[in-house]
Amino acid sequence: MDVAIVGTGYVGLVTGVILADLGNRVICVDRDQAKLDLIAQGKSPIYEPGLEEIIKRTLQEGNLLLSSSIEEATKKSEVVFIAVGTPPGEDGSPDLSAVLAVANAIAPAIDKPTVIVNKSTVPVGTAQLVEDLILSYGTDPGLFEVVSNPEFLREGSAVHDTLRPDRVVVGSKTKSAAMKLVELYSVLEAPIVLTTTTSAELIKYASNSFLAVKISFINAISRICEKCGADVEEVARGMGLDKRIGSQFLKAGLGWGGSCFPKDVQGLTKTGEKLGYRFDLLTAADDINKQQTTHFLTRLEEKLGGLSGKRIGLLGLAFKPNTDDIRDAKSFEIIDYLAGKGAEVIAHDPVAMSNMKEVRPYIDYAKDATEVFQGSDAVILVTEWEQYRGLNLDQLGSQMKSRILFDGRRMWTKTNVERYGYSYSTIGLE
Ligand code: UDX
């Protein structure tokens, strides 16, 4: 099938490259020529395991094409995906200007039957908005349809998630447009949920918000655990074995960050507000998420008898492992809190340091993880990169001012770490 994907961010690029690898002819469109040039050289502009090999392969096979012209790509395609960013606007509602700008560029180029697919995370009613906008150009209503097809891939495992999704959601007014997407996705052998555009749009927000609530729930339980002597990991294990609850997204830690959960929780809260429903559950989940980090830092502050003049090492900056993405990462709250209290911060991340350097140039960056320990009063594990697990804590402890370890992700076990003379504090354990 001839497909165009507008936007080469996480969602657009991964979807485009995978659809090309599955044998479709895909034109990835972006206005950022530097990004397109990089992709044309077989390089991925984002750190995503496995992606670069597929980019190289699909370029070589001639299935992946690049363009900066939405018009040209639309004319050459039967299906045009919109996969551009919808960052929160000033009031917390998603800013749709990029989506609408793409729709404005697609509209005049429609000269044959075209299915326009909204893959960006957009509020309920956006498919209709895009349809109305395209109709306002005098476009023949019989020539196009706007379909909602939200994306559920996770950063760090985006290739796997795109190839093996739990489900594909297609919201459409007509069967014919829905069938076009079924044709495109049937090779994945995943259940396909055929529904209306509004339900599809809501499925995305509801799914992400539900997962965020689930994490906030276990983080709230972690606070109870710290007070009563229970261990949140044991509690989560015992809960998760109940199939109705499930063990995934039940890992207590510093809280959720990234480009989706914070934005989507806010977005759904706003949608509720606009429709006259106060979504208190989401507001509470958001509050718990914020408290989780400050509570952890307060514990550190108490432990050190103040933070002013203290040197604090941070392991990890990305919002989660296997990505260089720092959007809404917990590391921001941590750096800002520590710096605000007059602490000296040295941080390491296997791939996200250059991103953080651009926005927080005033902290120190370590050449490797071991340097984070040197001369530090305490070390905080912020992101659970697998490579940190194997650090020689005994040896590194001897280079610290004091052996104090704050594990924000339950990476190590208390007894193991305490064997090396550390004071070990973590989430959900007394
Ligand atoms: C999320 C959704 O999972 C995905 O379906 C959607 O398409 C985009 O948003 P992503 O933001 O890439 O994906 O990361 P995810 O793995 O979901 O983690 C989100 C945040 O929750 C991270 O900060 C992570 O550290 C945190 N998290 C996750 C926990 O604290 N505990 C958990 O048990 C799981």
Pocket of ligand 1 (CB under 6 A): 151-155, 208, 211, 215, 249-251, 253, 256-258, 260-261, 319-320
> Is the pLDDT assigned to residue 92 strictly greater than 90?
no
From the candidate CATH numbers 3.30.360.10, 3.40.630.10, 3.40.50.1820, 3.40.50.720, the one assigned to the domain spanning 2-193: 3.40.50.720
Query: Ligand 1 centroid vs 256 CA: distance in angstroms?
Result: 7
Ligand 1 atom 33, closest CA? 249
Q: Select the more confidently predicted residue: 250 or 430.
A: 250
Q: State the catalytic residue, choosing from 28, 225, 228, 260.
A: 260
Model confidence over 363-377: pLDDT tens digits?
Answer: 999 999 999 999 999
Told to judge if 228 belongs to the known catalytic residues of this protein, a careful annotator would answer no
For ligand 1, what atom is nearest to the CA of residue 251?
33
Query: Ligand 1 centroid vs 425 CA: distance in angstroms?
Result: 24
> Is the pLDDT assigned to residue 308 strictly greater than 90?
yes
pLDDT at 88: 87
Percentage of the residues of the chain whose pLDDT score is greater than 90: 97
Assigned fold of 196-430: Rossmann fold (3.40.50)
> Is the pLDDT assigned to residue 90 strictly greater than 90?
no
**Residue 120: how many CA atoms within 13 Å on its side-chain side?**
30
Q: Mean of the pLDDT values across residues 179-203?
A: 96
Query: Ligand 1 centroid vs 383 CA: distance in angstroms?
Result: 12
Ligand 1 atom 2, closest CA? 154
Ligand 1 atom 5, closest CA? 152
pLDDT at 93: 86
pLDDT at 99: 97
On the question of a common fold for 2-193 and 196-430, the answer reads yes
Model confidence over 5-62: pLDDT tens digits?
Answer: 999 999 999 999 999 999 999 999 999 999 999 999 999 999 999 999 999 999 999 9
Query: Ligand 1 centroid vs 346 CA: distance in angstroms?
Result: 26
Domain coordinates of the chain in residue numbers? 2-193, 196-430
CA-based nearest residue to 152, from 138, 160, 143, 162: 162
Ligand 1 atom 22, closest CA? 256
